């Protein structure tokens, strides 16, 4: 796997890092870079908008290439972002509805970044959006729920929509269990073992795979 390198082109990194989120500076720059590579070939999609840090990176890439980014999130937060959990942020808690609501933050981010004409927010469970999806995608970034069942469901729901050569990205990929949960890493291994994806690049916990062009059926046969 190559290591990402180089500058951020049209990305305002200070603006990106001012948005609440979990991507590091190096990961944000790489996300923008691979977004530019993919957006030449078609629309991009992310699962897990949160407050918009990754959407600014991918959205800027899409805007530069005249493309569209679909960004899916129910905006109620993942398990680890709920009250009492490790990644709970009290600023995101809406007392009126008694829960997390990141949608107003996400909309503010898009407005401030000038990306309202580029990013299409889809506010629902990612599996619901996938049920009727028909648009081929040049890039899918999976950063929604981090339980194994969620990462696997997002992989199985969205990776079949990638065009040959399209890019499949995962955040929070940790080989070492001491550094973080194993679900994204396990699903990356599954994707590589399927024969449908090959390694493209890696920056910190952001792993990028490229679609080989093999069909899902061929991948299943390889797994047997
Ligand atoms: C780690 S955060 C995403 C961070 C974001 N990509 C960034 O760079 O700032 C995960 C997000 O996934 C959302 N999420 C979790 N499970 C989901 C599901 N099944 N459908 C839609 N969104 C989901 C949560 O609401 C949360 O906002």
Local confidence pLDDT in tens for the 224 residues of the chain: 444 444 455 799 999 999 999 999 999 999 999 999 999 999 999 999 999 999 999 999 999 999 999 999 999 999 999 999 999 999 999 999 899 999 999 999 999 999 999 999 999 999 999 999 999 999 999 999 999 999 999 999 999 999 999 999 999 999 999 898 899 999 999 999 999 999 999 999 999 999 998 876 655 554 55
Residue nearest to atom 4 of ligand 1 (CA): 50
Active-site residue (options: 30, 32, 146, 200): 146
The ligand 1 atom nearest the CA atom of 57 = 8
CB 197 within 8 A of CB 160: no
Q: What lines the ligand 1 site, CB under 6 Å?
A: 21-23, 48, 50-51, 53-54, 72-78, 102, 125-126, 143-145, 150
| Model-wide pTM > 0.85 | yes
- pLDDT score recorded for residue 1: 42
């Amino acid at each position: 796997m190559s290591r990402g390198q180089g500058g951020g082109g049209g990305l305002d990194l200070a603006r990106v890092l001012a948005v609440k989120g979990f991507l590091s500076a190096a990961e944000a720059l790489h996300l923008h870079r691979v977004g530019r590579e993919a957006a030449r070939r078609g629309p991009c999609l992310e699962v897990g908008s949160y407050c918009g840090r990754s959407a600014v990176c991918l959205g800027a890439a899409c805007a530069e290439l005249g493309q569209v980014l679909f960004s899916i999130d129910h905006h109620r937060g993942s398990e680890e972002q709920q009250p009492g959990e490790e990644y709970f942020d009290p600023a995101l808690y809406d007392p009126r509805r008694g829960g997390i609501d990141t949608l107003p933050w996400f909309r503010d981010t898009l407005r401030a970044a000038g990306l309202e004409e580029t990013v299409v927010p889809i506010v629902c469970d990612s599996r619901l959006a996938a049920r009727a999806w028909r648009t081929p995608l040049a890039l899918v970034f999976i950063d929604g729920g981090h339980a194994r069942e969620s990462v696997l469901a997002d992989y199985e729901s969205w990776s079949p929509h990638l065009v040959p050569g399209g890019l499949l990205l995962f955040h929070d990929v940790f080989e070492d269990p001491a550094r973080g949960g194993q679900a994204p890493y396990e699903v990356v291994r599954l994707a590589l073992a399927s024969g449908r994806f090959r390694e493209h690049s890696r920056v910190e916990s952001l792993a990028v795979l490229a679609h080989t062009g093999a069909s899902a059926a061929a991948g299943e046969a390889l797994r047997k």
